[in-house]
Copies of this chain bind each other. A is one copy, B any other.
Amino acid sequence: MSQEAQFVFNTLSFLIWGGLVMWMAAGFTMLESGSVRTKNASVICLKNVGLYSIAGMAFYLIGYNLMYVDVSGWIGSFKLFYGPSEAEIALLGGDESATEAVLENGYSVMSDWFFQMVFVATAASIVSGTLAERINLWAFFIFTLVLTGFIYPVVGAWTWGLGWLSEVGFHDFAGSTIVHSTGGWAALAGAIVLGARLGKFSKDGTARPTPPSSVPVVTLGVFTLWFGWLGFNGGSVLALGSASAATSMSVVLVNTNLAAAGGVIAAIIFVRPILGRFDLVAVLNGAIGGLVAITAAPDMVNHYWAILVGAVGAIVCTAGYRLLWSFRVDDVVGAVPAHLFAGIWGTLAVCITHNDTNLGVQLLGILTVGVFVFSISYVLWKVLDMTIGARVSKGVEQLGQDAAELGIEAYPEFVLMPEPYEDEDE
C-alpha cells in the first residue's frame, strides 16, 4: 500500500472513531439526565454541553501540549494553542512539495488532536454524573477546566505521552486507568467533599432510593455509550493503514462488544439471586462496567477472556456501588464503581491476558494516578468549596436546580408526584 493511502486510512480512523467518541458525550448526557430526579434533569444537560465545550477548549489552549509535546518524563510543554504542522499548512496552501513531510507523520496532525480531545471530554463526563443534583454550576465548570487543562494531560503525559509510567512498561490500551479512573478519582474526591444529597441516607445509614426521571432515557444513554465505545477502543489502535492494524481493530471491536455483553449477562445472572428480582440499573451499569474493564486491553485474540473481563467488571461495579453506600458516599449514577472500580479491575486484568505485562507495574500505575488525581482533585474541590461554594444551598437543592438556577423545568407540563422524603433529611 502506498504511504499516502496509509496516511489517509490512519487519518480517517481518527476522524470517524473520534466522531463516535464525541457522540458518547450525548450518551453520558442521556444516562445522567435520565438518572437524576426530574427537578434536576435540565441542569445536568447544561453541565454536559458545557463540560464537553470546556474540555475541547482547554485541550486546545494548553492540554494537548502538556500531554504530548516535548514530554520530559513528567509533563510536556506549557506552550499555548495547537495546530497543523508547517508542512501541512504548506500543503493545504497548495505546495505539493510538502507532501513527503506531511506523509512522514503517518496521519494528519489534527485528526490525532481530535481523537485525543474527545477522550479528555470523556474523563470530564464521568464527574458530572457522580456529583449531580447538588453541585454548584460555576464550581463544576472551573473544576472541569482544571481537570481537562491540567490533571488529565499530566496523567496522559506519564503514559500515552511516553513519560515515566510508559517507560516502566505500564499497559493501558485505551484508558481504563488513564481516562476512566482519572475521571472516577476526580468524581470520588468531589463526592466526599460535597457530601450526600439531602435525604439520601437515613439516620441509620440506609440509602434511600431516588427515582430516576426516565428509565428509557438512561437506557438510550447506555446504548449510546456502547456504540461510541466501538470508536473509543477501535480508534485506539491508532492506525488503520495496514493489514495488521485493520485486523487488530476488528479484534478490538469484537472484544469490546463481548465484554459489554458479558457484563450484561453477569448482571442478569448474579444479581437476581441476591436481590430476588431483575435489576435494570445493575444490568445497565454492568454493560458500562464491562466496557470500562476491557478498555485496558481489548486486543487479546482469545475472545472468551473478554467475556470474563467484562463479567467480572460488571460484578465489581455492582458490588462497588453498595460499598460506596456503606461509606455514605453518594454517587448519583454509579460512575465511581463503573469507571474507577471496574477500571482498576481492567488495568489489573491485563496481566491475565498479556504476558509482557507486570502486575507490580500495573499496580504502580493505578496507585500513582490515583494519588495524583485524587489529591489534586480533593484540594481543588475544597478550595472551591471554601471560596465560591462547591454545593448549592439547601433551598436550591430542595427546589431543584432546574427551577432555581435555570428558571426552567425539564418537563414543565407534566404533573409530578410530591417527593416523599423531603422532610426526612438527615
Chain B residues closer than 8 Å to A30, beta-carbon distance: 216, 220
Scoring A7, A114, A246 by chain B CB atoms within 10 A of each residue's CB, the highest score goes to: A246
Given contact pairs A11-B249, A48-B219, A92-B247, a sample of 15 additional A-B residue pairs in the complex whose CB atoms are under 8 Å apart: A19-B230, A19-B231, A29-B216, A29-B223, A33-B216, A46-B278, A50-B264, A81-B304, A91-B243, A99-B243, A110-B251, A110-B253, A141-B268, A215-B411, A414-B416
A283 shortest CB reach to chain B, Å: 6
Binary per-residue interface labels of chain A (1-33) against chain B in the complex, 1 for a CB within 8 Å, 0 otherwise = 110110111011011101110110110011001
Q: Looking at chain A, what size class is its interface with the partner chain?
A: 35 or more
Chain B residues closer than 8 Å to A49, beta-carbon distance: 219, 222-223, 264, 283-284, 287
A98 to B371: give the CA distance in the assembly, Å: 44
Contact of A213 among B222, B223, B251, B411 (CB under 8 A): B411
A15 lies within 8 A of B234 (CB): yes
A424 at the interface (CB under 8 A from B): no
A45 at the interface (CB under 8 A from B): yes
A15 shortest CB reach to chain B, Å: 6
* B-contacting residues, A240-277, CB 8 Å: 240-251, 253-254, 257-258, 260-262, 264-265, 268, 277
Residue of B nearest to A410 (CB): B215
Chain B residues closer than 8 Å to A52, beta-carbon distance: 261, 264
A279 to B279: give the CA distance in the assembly, Å: 36
A352 at the interface (CB under 8 A from B): no
Residue of B nearest to A5 (CB): B1
Copies in the complex: 3
A50 to B262: give the CA distance in the assembly, Å: 10
A186 shortest CB reach to chain B, Å: 20
Q: List 27 A-B contacts (CB under 8 A).
A: A1-B4, A2-B2, A9-B12, A12-B240, A15-B230, A15-B253, A22-B227, A23-B223, A30-B220, A43-B280, A49-B284, A52-B264, A53-B264, A56-B257, A57-B262, A84-B250, A88-B247, A99-B243, A110-B253, A113-B250, A114-B254, A141-B268, A213-B411, A215-B410, A280-B406, A411-B414, A413-B416
- Evaluate whether A414 and B415 lie within 8 angstroms (CB atoms) in the complex, with A1-B2, A53-B264, A108-B246 already known: yes
Chain B residues closer than 8 Å to A242, beta-carbon distance: 4, 8
A230 to B115: give the CA distance in the assembly, Å: 13
A8 to B234: give the CA distance in the assembly, Å: 14
Chain B residues closer than 8 Å to A361, beta-carbon distance: none
Contact of A8 among B1, B258, B268, B407 (CB under 8 A): B1
A43 to B245: give the CA distance in the assembly, Å: 40
- Evaluate whether A244 and B91 lie within 8 angstroms (CB atoms) in the complex, with A8-B1, A81-B303, A411-B215 already known: yes
Binary per-residue interface labels of chain A (388-425) against chain B in the complex, 1 for a CB within 8 Å, 0 otherwise = 00000000000000100111111111111100000000
